[in-house]
Structure 1
Amino acid sequence: MAIGVLGVSVGLAVGGLVLLAVLTWALHRNVDTEALRTADAVALLAAEDALPDPLPVAGGQVRVQVVDAQGRVRAASIDADRLVPMVRPERVDRHARQGITVAGERMGLVGPVRVVAVPAGTDADPLTVLVARSLVDVRQSTHVVRTILLVSFPLLVAVLAAVAWRVVGATLRPVEALRRGAEEITGRNGAGRLPVPGSQDEIHRLAVTLNDMLDRLRAGRDRQRAFVADAAHELRSPLTNIRTELEVAQRLGDRTDWPAVSADLLADTERLGRLVDDLLLLARLDEAPPARATGPVELGALLTEVAGRQLARPVEVVPPPEPLWTVGDPDELRRVLTNLVDNAVRHARTRVVLAAAPDGSAYHRVTVTDDGPGIPAADRERVFGRFTRLDPARDRDAGGAGLGLAIVRELVRRAGGQVDLGDAEPPPGLRVRVLLPALTAEPDPT
């Protein structure tokens, strides 16, 4: 604020100097104009050889002389000297109109005097009309203006400083409230919201935007905490099983059934490895930008490959009527289908069907259908959350860690597609539909 007031003060000072200079110039110009008007009138009389004596003038601060080429005064006003010209002859250009400022003592006036010289007469008898006007009024006017400026300038600066302080203070008060709110939020570890001013201005929009950002940060922090807690819980379960198996084997000694123990430890280790791999994959997906992968993938061959890897239950594949090509990372798309087929096999009663077909001109549709219990409509969005299980009490070894569908959604989004859940036809059961971008032209095999 101090810099702003200083800038305004400098601007006012410069403006005052400019005003004073313009006023002085205008007053001098007015004096010259009046003197030239008088001189032109006297020159006209001189041209007609009708100079009165004394020369008539208006005002006591005006002197008029008519001087010949020899410097003699031919005519003069009543107060002008009749012997000595008001301006020395060598300073006067007898062939041009000019203005000269001289001291007033030479003609009995106080202060400086403005003298204008106008050629008059004839070529045979050249004359010069000298008209002098006192500059006392000009000096008094400029002095009055200068005094007013010097007196009013500090007062005006003080008033402007007070107004600026009030206006800037009122403008920055919402910003200070935002700062205090941010400080309080920092002290409460991010809890709370910033105050939103009632004015519909930039500060209001800034506060709303910052509150939205805080809400997103808070939601992200809550998700991160929940994710870490769930991950720790999921990692603790296989580690606890491994420790329990080893403690029991240590107490039994020679009676330990080591083949059974090693099989259990291997199962827990595999489950722990799958969980760590899933966590690392989700972390990588969170950090990596959503970008379309590079390679073309034929969906019919991919479905056949994924179905052939299922040993627990045969998976029926409905091949597409023609090759369906999409663009994506083959490993990521394979992971999508593997997770969906694993879930379907885990919950199916007798049958799992894997199919692919065109879905308009822009997408291809892949469906995974089972005849299991299905998922209620109210829970079909929630199951895509991380570590989500609809039945928390069921066996973790059979139900997994609750990361499969979360990974599916992230990978499908990266491929530029979408995934949703619906009822199997005919019911009961669940149908998972994945839409993937269609590659319009079949890739060149070369």
Structure 2
Amino acid sequence: MRLENCSIRGRLALFTGVVVGLLCILFSTVLLLTINKAATRNLTKEVTAVGELTAYYVDRGKLINPLPPIPQNLIRPVQVVDPQGKVVAATRDLQHQPAMAHFTPKPPHRVASAVVCHSIFTEGRCHIVVAQQVFHNGDWTVYSAAPTIPFYIYPGVMALLIAGTVIFTIAVAYGARHTVTRSLKPVDAIRAQLDHIQSTDLGRRVPVPTAKDEIHRLARSVNQTLDRLEDVLEQQRRFCSDASHELRTPITAIRAQMEDARLAPDDIDLAKLCDAVLPSVERLQSIASGLLKLTRLDAGVPLERQTMDLAELVAAELKNHRLNKKVVRHLATGVTVSGDRVRLSQLIGNLVQNAQRHAASTITITVRRADGDPRFPGETAELEVLDDGAGVADGQREMVFQPFARLDTARSRSAGGAGLGLPIARRIAESHGGTLTIQDSPHGARFVIRLPLSP
């Protein structure tokens, strides 16, 4: 099985087991080396003690062959070599054998040690050999030896460390897998719940674990994302429904007029038919154009920015409209903004058209500098469009910025509104880093645009 195909539990357990196993092997190796070094040091001291005892008898001329006199608990391979290099005494296991080593202590030292291999020892193992010089009618040398200690010290110690490493590695790997399995149970529950959530049932939410950990935050983020997704899909359904309703009315009117003309072609005046159909076509064109503009704004089409005076832009836009209501202007000069002139002109035009549809007699347009908005640092450019109409209730102020939303459907249709002007205006303001809201006013509807001031 390839590693990338394993679950997180398996990979983490494998990684933990390998790391713990390597650490245990490293620890065991260091421990064995430390114990071996200490045991070798102690063994060298014992071998040296045996040689010192033999050297004592050599120094007093009490040398006998075979050796001892040496206590039974200290018997080691020992040889005594005279100044001519001849072995004159040895323990029973080295009788009639040549010298086990040929090195001697270097002055001023009287004792030297070395590891000797492939010598006269019958075991075939390497030995620790200690050479001691004795001055008795010349330089005599006493060699004492003992087999070197193997790396693993004792087989039991090696077996214990191997068993401990295996058991500890398995236990840690199992514990890691068990811990990860328990930790990932909420993730499995989240995944299972997400698998059951369909586009027709977005009201379901994933379970949020009680522990305040990363999975808790993940579950909350998933639920917040589902909330936003549900809102977006609900807006999309409502938008499709409203768009279908808006498009159906002019299409139905055109169809009815065309069917009437088809039934009685001789009684139809072509000019009157065109005059009757043209308003519906214009309405369809207006809706299609508005939907295209909304789509482009939502897609984030780049802006062609330039610096302009907001008062001059408002004045120029008012000249392009046939105003059927009285317009009061309070346009402060020097309020400059940076943005797309065409889109900002469309924003102003949409608000003016909306005010004309709903104003009783007067529209007041104000351009000024303003501050006090926590969403903007320092001063902002503010454009206010106020009409003296019926106004907008507090609970409906956000609804008017939804596509095809109307507070008075019959009156809006008769006035020619498609229900897309205010949503487009808000999208334009937001694409310029600003806001479009409805504020309180003594009478009528007060639309307020705030845009960042240009340096």
Question: Which residue among 345, 348, 355 is the counterpart of 2:359?
Answer: 348
Change (3 A) 1:115 1:375: closer
Pairwise CA RMSD of aligned residues?
3.5
Establish whether residue 334 from structure 1 lines up as the match of residue 345 from structure 2.
yes
Work out whether residues 315 and 354 of structure 1, in 8 Å CA contact, stay in contact via their aligned partners in 2: no
- The answer for the alignment partner of 2:73 in structure 1 is 59
- The answer for the alignment partner of 2:389 in structure 1 is 372
SS at match of 1:367: strand
Work out whether residues 28 and 138 of structure 1, in 8 Å CA contact, stay in contact via their aligned partners in 2: no
Question: Which residue among 134, 137, 140 is the counterpart of 1:127?
Answer: 140
- The answer for the alignment partner of 1:3 in structure 2 is 14
- The answer for the alignment partner of 2:374 in structure 1 is none
Deviations 1:83-123 (A, max 9, x none): 546743xx32124523235689958xx78573423241359
Change (3 A) 1:319 1:132: same
Letter in 2 for 1:436: L
Change (3 A) 1:280 1:36: farther
Letter in 1 for 2:82: D
Within 5 Å, give how 1:201-350 maps onto structure 2: 201-288=213-300, 293-350=304-361
Change (3 A) 1:299 1:164: closer
Work out whether residues 95 and 119 of structure 1, in 8 Å CA contact, stay in contact via their aligned partners in 2: yes
Work out whether residues 17 and 173 of structure 2, in 8 Å CA contact, stay in contact via their aligned partners in 1: no
**1:219 Cα deviation after fit:** 1.8
- The answer for the alignment partner of 2:115 in structure 1 is 100
Within 5 Å, give how 1:138-149 maps onto structure 2: 141-149=153-161
TM-score relative to the length of structure 1: 0.82
Change (3 A) 1:86 1:179: farther
Q: Distance in 2 between matches of 1:260 and 1:419?
A: 42
Q: Distance in 2 between matches of 1:174 and 1:142?
A: 50
Work out whether residues 116 and 128 of structure 2, in 8 Å CA contact, stay in contact via their aligned partners in 1: yes
SS at match of 2:437: strand
Establish whether residue 430 from structure 1 lines up as the match of residue 445 from structure 2.
yes
**1:402 Cα deviation after fit:** 1.9
Work out whether residues 386 and 402 of structure 1, in 8 Å CA contact, stay in contact via their aligned partners in 2: yes
Q: Distance in 1 between matches of 2:440 and 2:167?
A: 82
Q: Distance in 1 between matches of 2:256 and 2:200?
A: 41
Work out whether residues 196 and 207 of structure 1, in 8 Å CA contact, stay in contact via their aligned partners in 2: yes
Establish whether residue 72 from structure 1 lines up as the match of residue 86 from structure 2.
yes
Letter in 2 for 1:286: D
Q: Distance in 1 between matches of 2:339 and 2:172?
A: 66
Q: Distance in 2 between matches of 1:39 and 1:294?
A: 100
Question: Which residue among 183, 186, 194 is the counterpart of 2:206?
Answer: 194
**1:279 Cα deviation after fit:** 0.7
**1:18 Cα deviation after fit:** 5.6
Q: Distance in 2 between matches of 1:346 and 1:339?
A: 11
Change (3 A) 1:115 1:16: closer
Letter in 1 for 2:225: M
Q: Distance in 2 between matches of 1:150 and 1:416?
A: 69
Work out whether residues 120 and 126 of structure 1, in 8 Å CA contact, stay in contact via their aligned partners in 2: yes
Q: Distance in 1 between matches of 2:287 and 2:439?
A: 27
Unaligned runs of 5+ in 2: 1-9, 107-111, 372-377
Q: Distance in 1 between matches of 2:167 and 2:394?
A: 76
SS at match of 1:357: strand
Moved more, 330-339 or 318-327: 318-327
Letter in 1 for 2:127: R
Deviations 1:175-220 (A, max 9, x none): 2222212222259665522222222222222222222222222222
Change (3 A) 1:208 1:69: farther
- The answer for the alignment partner of 2:109 in structure 1 is none
SS at match of 1:117: strand
**1:16 Cα deviation after fit:** 4.5
Within 5 Å, give how 1:379-390 maps onto structure 2: 379-390=396-407
SS at match of 2:369: strand
Change (3 A) 1:330 1:41: farther
SS at match of 1:195: coil
TM-score relative to the length of structure 2: 0.81
Q: Distance in 1 between matches of 2:427 and 2:334?
A: 25
Q: Distance in 2 between matches of 1:359 and 1:21?
A: 81
SS at match of 2:154: helix
Q: Distance in 1 between matches of 2:175 and 2:69?
A: 59
Q: Distance in 1 between matches of 2:140 and 2:214?
A: 75
Unaligned runs of 5+ in 1: 441-446
SS at match of 1:62: coil
SS at match of 2:446: strand
